[in-house]
């Protein structure tokens, strides 16, 4: 259990990391290959501080009983007439809600210049209990720090979600209109208590009222199982077990909860109580699960023709090909797959598979205040690195924090995590699917299209956190029911100027000569499981809007299968705009075709044409010194190889799996460099593939890849010609690497790291020409450098440095000794930082630092962005920071004579994952240098068009104009979501009292059968009695019997305390 405690935010998060095991000492790693469940029961003990503020001058007048509106008005006017001689200016604030038709025990009164005496006279009235000022309650986590609560009169603490005492009171302002508030007032909520029944919050009751309850839709829950007689479920069609445990029951409560959110019919209501539940137990009580179990279970789901499948389970291994292929196969068989995006936030680059697949609906979590939940995984997908750019994920977000669902045996409980958000969407999808008359139209793509086109965007959150926004069930219903098969794009437009939604694109304008900006758009094809792009996408620049100032290249999936494909748009500035500044616009037009399956004509095709508007900001090319190039090509990560974490203290997160990109786990560093005015570009190709004369500094951080010999010679030439180099290395010690190897029971093989934190031997090959090298030392510790507190988290030292360089040394702990022998030793004067000016005329500068952890977002303890600034000042402007050059920690550069330089670990399998090495007899050898990527720019077809001012409002789906789609009659259902009056309880549990739909019918079907049966039994009983009576008429003579009866009665009346005679 890991506890984050953020006092500023006033909440405590308990995250149960199931897979967290001490890997370096007794290693048992479940989640390397196996999917680990996202089930993080992040139980939020949410302790909120409330800041009640008076809303002057409104008062709540409470009465002693319930009176009609007229009577209340009469009492108040009579009471106030006596006060101040009737001079008081007042009126009753109308409360327009369904409750206003009923008697109430309070009234809201607006009184101008109310004096305490007038309030007292008001309280004197016999029917008035008390008068209190009206208060507004603020209840948003992010709002609190800016408005200190102690300024107000009192603070209240509520422990909500886990509280044994549920608080059900809701503000009167709560109604269906509230749900359209997103985007307008995100920091203020008039909610005192939040209804926690997520189906109701998402207005599922509107669809229930229309008779849609998920009937006829098969939902599969892949989880920890479900107990047989759980009272919440009425339509569990089948339970199957795919694990090695001989049970079908849920021993964790996770599977029950998930199934409850989808289909519970009582207490904590699910979305689709009439859906057919298929429970697949694929996760054991010990939180173990294998890919092979999933494969067999998925095959069964395909055979059973499941419609919707919820998978609240995920893992980082998107290179588990059998699993990924199987998920494709599943969606290709029309199974709508909904999956949790992961609980590894707020770090970027933490998306989990299979939620990060194009054909799967990946769901992120938000809290009830519409903030992205801290735990929700985010950042782009990292499949496409290093050459491409990640796709936008999650697709959609919904409530995932403090959601109520079914408890393991009975009752309800609250849970948090994206594994809660996923069944919310899965339940909504099930409900939506049951509303569609022509089920042929419902497929994984059309459902996803409807969800993302209807989602409501959250303000101030970028698309790599919220995707398309918050699930809106009702709008999705409208869209889905006017849906026509078509293709659509996600994101549906590219506006590189729109902040913060289009972060990181909006954070840096483009310019001539820069690396092309790539936007990885996903094409969703609702027309068929397979499709293709007809001809080629057409680039149409808008001439009035300088569209000719940009060049666009498009690459795309040759086949859109299953249901989706990519459309990568590379944008670059045309040469004529090299010194131009402004906005350029245009659009890319794509036509998608799919075989028409319902067409009588053989070979018929459905086609759909979509426009992708593009808007970019162009600036003149910045000077060379301002431009920094980030080397992505030489960063390797898990999956597929075992690349260990850069900070060895972080035993619970053993893998380096966040992509090491400036927009994933080096996001803070990127933001910092941008704020310092640097322009950061990414090199996704070998070092031979960039024009070094354009860049001031090449930044190589935590590189695991090897180098082509051509790269080494090219870099040396570039540095001679003025390119500077900054290297942030990391640890590499073969003994430690052997120590952190482990036998993985699940894959039945040894896992040996293929590099250390970085690939130091390869880096040494690169920098040896300047007489530099890193050592295989492994150091750790706190120190102070230039008045900054620093932490060295598992880094190496500099083993060799040119004589005329500046080298800084510090006293650090020998972590290698600690890992290997559990001994602690402090090493004095470990050289960690080196600055060097190459001797050639106009030559570049080189800066080395032995640890990358202080600029990496994952597990960073103390940042050293100041150091990066200082190094960039040095490399870009040749300004040696005096704090470093005149530091008393400066030592003579090491010559590297005393220790041999680190060698590559023998028998490492880096060649399996490397783009540079290939297997050979003996040692792996470098491959031939690949050709540099070449973009073929689309031939522009200029149009004399002007883009709409707001691209966001651009139609997301053809033929569906949301403004025109009639809303279902909300009025009629308002009483269903009416707020509760105090004392009324349990009404949230069964909305509207009765669930419409098949439940009643089903009961109605079974009851008559048994009633008939019972009636028959009773009837036969009577028949027997009657025949008995008829056959023996003489034994029961009425004449005799009657007096006996009377006698008995008399006896009874007289002997009241006596026992009755038994007949």
Partner 1 sequence: MMVLRRLLRKRWVLGVVFGLSLIYFLTSTLKQEERTIRDRTLLEVRDSDHRIPWKVRFNLGNSSRQITQCRNSIQGKTLLTDELGEKRNRYSPPCCDDNTTAPRYWSMLMFRCFYCLTGYVCERKDLLVNGCCNVNAPSTRQYICKSCLANGCCSIYEYCVSCCLQPDKQPLLERFLNRAAEGFQNLFTAVEDHFELCLAKCRTSSQSVQHENTYRNPQAKYCYGESPPELLPV
Instruction: By CB under 8 A, name the binding residues for partner 1.
Output: 33-34, 228, 236-242, 246-248, 290-293, 295-296, 299-300, 302-304, 317, 319-323, 325-326, 329, 332-334, 529-530, 559, 561-562, 595, 597-600, 602-603, 605, 746-749, 1006, 1010-1011, 1013-1015, 1017-1018, 1021-1022, 1025, 1052, 1060, 1063
Smallest distance, Å, CB 233 to partner 1? 11
- What contacts 634, CB < 8 A, 6 or more positions away? 700, 703, 704, 705, 707
- What contacts 810, CB < 8 A, 6 or more positions away? 781, 783, 785, 792, 829, 830, 832, 889
Q: Which is nearer to partner 1, 28 or 180 (CB)?
A: 28
Pair of tokens at residue 238: 């089948």
Q: 709-720 vs 760-767: helix axis angle to the nearest 10?
A: 50
Smallest distance, Å, CB 238 to partner 1? 5
CA distances from 464 to 376, 494, 565 (A): 11, 14, 19
Q: Which is nearer to partner 1, 240 or 625 (CB)?
A: 240
Reported in sequence order, the residue ranges of 290-425 that DSSP labels E, i.e. its strands, are: 308-311, 313-314, 336-340, 361-366, 396-399, 403-406, 412-415
Smallest distance, Å, CB 237 to partner 1? 7
Residue with tokens 């913060």: 500
Smallest distance, Å, CB 289 to partner 1? 10
Give the C-alpha separation, 962 to 151, whole Å. Answer: 45
Phi and psi based region of residue 901 (left: phi greater than 0; alpha: psi -120 to 50; beta: remaining)? beta
CA distances from 691 to 624, 670, 717 (A): 11, 21, 12
Give the C-alpha separation, 907 to 911, whole Å. Answer: 10
Q: Which is nearer to partner 1, 291 or 419 (CB)?
A: 291
Q: Which is nearer to partner 1, 164 or 598 (CB)?
A: 598
DSSP 710: H
Q: CA 994 from chain center: how many Å?
A: 34
Give the C-alpha separation, 903 to 905, whole Å. Answer: 6
Is 347:665 a contact under the CB 8 Å cutoff? yes
Beta bridge partners of 279: 221, 239
Residue 354's φ and ψ, nearest 5 degrees, are -90, 5
SS3 annotation, 215-274 = CCCEEEEEECCCCCCCCCCCCEEEEEECCCCCCCCCCCCHHHHHHHHHHCCCCCCCCCCC
Residue 701's φ and ψ, nearest 5 degrees, are -120, 125
Q: Is the bond preceding residue 1055 a cis peptide, omega within 30 degrees?
A: no
Residue 1009: Cβ within 10 Å count: 9
Give the C-alpha separation, 1060 to 1004, whole Å. Answer: 43
Smallest distance, Å, CB 516 to partner 1? 30
Nearest to 369 by CA among 288, 240, 444, 458: 458
Phi and psi based region of residue 1035 (left: phi greater than 0; alpha: psi -120 to 50; beta: remaining)? alpha
Tally: H helices and E strands in the chain: 21, 44
- What contacts 469, CB < 8 A, 6 or more positions away? 182, 396, 397, 455, 456, 457, 458
- Coil/strand/helix, residue 818: helix
Please give the positions annotated as active site.
223, 254, 419
Q: 418-435 vs 254-263: helix axis angle to the nearest 10?
A: 30
- What contacts 964, CB < 8 A, 6 or more positions away? none
Q: Which is nearer to partner 1, 233 or 257 (CB)?
A: 233
- What contacts 193, CB < 8 A, 6 or more positions away? 167, 168, 169, 170, 171
H helices within 358-503, ranges in order?
Answer: 418-435, 444-454, 463-466, 473-480
Residue with tokens 């001797």: 839
Phi and psi based region of residue 519 (left: phi greater than 0; alpha: psi -120 to 50; beta: remaining)? beta
Q: Which is nearer to partner 1, 291 or 401 (CB)?
A: 291
Residue 280 host element (H or E): strand 276-281
Give the C-alpha separation, 912 to 923, whole Å. Answer: 13
Q: Which is nearer to partner 1, 944 or 1060 (CB)?
A: 1060
Smallest distance, Å, CB 395 to partner 1? 22
Give the C-alpha separation, 474 to 206, whole Å. Answer: 8
């Amino acid at each position: 259990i890991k506890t984050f405690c953020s006092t500023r935010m006033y909440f405590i998060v308990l995250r149960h990391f199931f897979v967290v095991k001490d890997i370096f000492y007794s290693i048992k790693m479940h989640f390397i290959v196996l999917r680990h469940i996202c089930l993080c029961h992040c139980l939020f003990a949410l302790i909120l501080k409330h800041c009640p503020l008076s809303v002057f001058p409104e008062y709540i007048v409470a009465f002693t009983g319930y009176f009609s509106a007229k009577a209340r008005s009469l009492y108040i006017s009579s009471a106030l007439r006596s006060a101040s001689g009737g001079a008081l200016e007042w009126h009753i604030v109308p409360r327009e809600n369904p409750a206003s038709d009923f008697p109430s025990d309070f009234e809201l009164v607006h009184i101008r210049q109310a004096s305490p005496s007038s309030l007292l006279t008001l309280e004197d009235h016999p029917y008035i209990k008390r008068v209190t000022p009206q208060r507004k309650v603020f209840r948003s986590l992010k709002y609190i720090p800016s408005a200190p609560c102690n300024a107000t009169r009192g603070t209240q603490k509520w422990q909500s979600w886990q509280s044994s005492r549920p608080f059900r009171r809701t503000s009167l302002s709560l109604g269906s209109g509230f749900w359209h508030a997103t985007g307008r007032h995100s920091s203020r909520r008039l909610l005192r208590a939040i209804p926690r029944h997520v189906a109701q919050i998402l207005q599922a009751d509107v669809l229930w009222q229309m008779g849609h309850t998920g009937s006829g839709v098969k939902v599969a829950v892949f989880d920890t199982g479900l107990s047989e007689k759980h009272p919440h479920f009425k339509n569990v069609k089948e339970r199957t077990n795919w694990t090695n445990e001989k049970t079908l029951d849920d021993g964790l409560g996770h599977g029950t909860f998930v199934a409850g959110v989808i289909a519970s019919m009582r207490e904590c209501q699910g979305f689709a109580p009439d859906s057919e539940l298929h429970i697949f137990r694929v996760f054991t009580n010990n939180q173990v699960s294998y890919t092979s179990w999933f494969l067999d279970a998925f095959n069964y789901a395909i055979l059973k023709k499941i419609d919707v499948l919820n998978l609240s389970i995920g893992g980082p291994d998107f290179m588990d090909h059998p699993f990924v292929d199987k998920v494709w196969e599943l969606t290709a068989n029309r199974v709508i797959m909904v999956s949790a995006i992961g609980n590894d936030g707020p770090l970027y680059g933490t998306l989990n598979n299979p939620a990060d697949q194009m054909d799967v609906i990946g769901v992120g979590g938000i809290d009830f205040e519409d903030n992205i939940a801290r735990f929700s995984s985010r950042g782009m997908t990292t499949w496409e690195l290093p050459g491409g750019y990640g796709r936008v994920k999650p697709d959609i977000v919904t409530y995932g924090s403090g959601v109520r669902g079914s408890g393991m045996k009975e009752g309800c409980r609250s849970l948090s995590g994206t594994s809660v958000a996923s069944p919310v969407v899965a339940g909504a999808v099930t409900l939506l699917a049951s509303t569609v008359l022509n089920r042929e139209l419902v497929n994984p793509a059309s459902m996803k299209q409807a969800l993302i086109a209807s989602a409501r965007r959250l303000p101030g959150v970028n698309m790599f956190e919220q995707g398309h926004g918050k699930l809106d069930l009702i709008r999705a219903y409208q869209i889905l029911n006017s849906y026509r098969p078509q293709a659509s794009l996600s994101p549906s437009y590219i506006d590189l100027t729109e902040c913060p939604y289009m972060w990181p694109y909006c954070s840096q304008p483009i310019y001539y000569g820069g690396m092309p900006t790539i936007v990885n758009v996903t094409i969703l094809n609702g027309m068929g499981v397979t499709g293709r792009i007809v001809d080629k996408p057409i680039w149409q620049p808008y001439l009035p809007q300088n569209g000719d100032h940009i060049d666009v290249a498009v690459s795309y999936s040759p086949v859109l299968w299953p249901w989706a494909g990519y459309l990568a748009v590379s944008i670059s500035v045309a040469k004529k705009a090299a010194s131009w500044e402004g906005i350029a616009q245009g659009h890319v037009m794509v036509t998608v075709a799919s075989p028409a399956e319902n067409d009588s004509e053989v070979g018929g095709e459905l086609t759909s044409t979509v426009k992708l508007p593009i808007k970019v900001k162009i600036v003149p090319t910045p000077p060379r010194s301002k431009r920094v190039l980030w080397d992505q090509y030489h960063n390797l990560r898990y999956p597929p190889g075992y690349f260990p974490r850069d900070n060895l203290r972080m035993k619970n997160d053993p893998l380096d799996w966040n992509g090491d990109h400036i927009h994933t786990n080096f996001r803070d560093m990127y933001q910092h460099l941008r704020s310092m005015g640097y322009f950061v570009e990414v090199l996704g190709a070998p070092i031979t593939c960039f024009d070094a004369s354009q860049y001031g500094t090449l930044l190589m951080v935590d590189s695991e890849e090897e180098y082509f010999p051509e790269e080494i010679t090219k870099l040396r030439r570039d540095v001679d010609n003025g390119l500077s180099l900054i290297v942030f290395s990391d640890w590499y010690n073969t003994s430690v690497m052997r120590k952190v190897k482990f036998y993985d029971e699940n894959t039945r093989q040894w896992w040996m790291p293929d590099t250390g934190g970085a690939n130091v031997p390869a880096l040494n090959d690169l920098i040896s020409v300047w007489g530099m090298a890193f050592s295989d030392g492994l150091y750790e510790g706190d120190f102070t450098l230039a008045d900054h507190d620093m932490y060295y988290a598992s880094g190496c030292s500099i083993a060799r440095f040119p004589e005329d360089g500046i080298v800084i040394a510090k006293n650090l702990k020998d972590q290698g000794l600690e890992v290997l022998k559990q001994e602690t030793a402090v090493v004095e004067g470990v050289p960690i930082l080196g600055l060097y000016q190459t001797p050639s005329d106009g030559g570049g500068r080189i800066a080395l630092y032995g640890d990358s952890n202080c600029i990496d977002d994952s597990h960073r303890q103390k940042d050293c962005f100041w150091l990066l600034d200082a190094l960039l000042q040095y490399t870009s402007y040749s300004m040696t920071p005096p704090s470093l050059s005149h530091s008393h920690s400066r030592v003579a550069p090491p010559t590297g004579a005393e220790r041999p330089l680190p060698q590559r670990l023998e028998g490492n399998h880096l060649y399996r994952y490397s783009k540079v090495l290939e297997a050979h007899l003996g040692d792996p050898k470098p491959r031939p240098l690949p050709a540099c990527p070449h973009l073929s720019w689309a031939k522009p077809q200029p149009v004399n068009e002007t883009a709409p001012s707001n691209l966001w409002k651009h139609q997301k789906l053809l033929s569906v104009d949301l403004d025109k789609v009639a809303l279902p009659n909300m009025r009629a259902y308002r009483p269903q979501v009416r707020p509760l009056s105090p004392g009324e309880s349990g009404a949230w549990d069964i909305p509207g009292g009765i669930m419409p739909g098949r439940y009643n019918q089903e009961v109605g079907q079974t009851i008559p059968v048994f009633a008939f049966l019972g009636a028959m039994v009773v009837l036969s009983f009577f028949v027997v009695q009657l025949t008995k009576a008829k056959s023996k008429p003489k034994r029961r003579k009425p004449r005799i019997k009657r007096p006996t009866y009377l006698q008995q009665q008399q006896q009874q009346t007289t002997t009241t305390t006596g026992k009755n005679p038994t007949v």
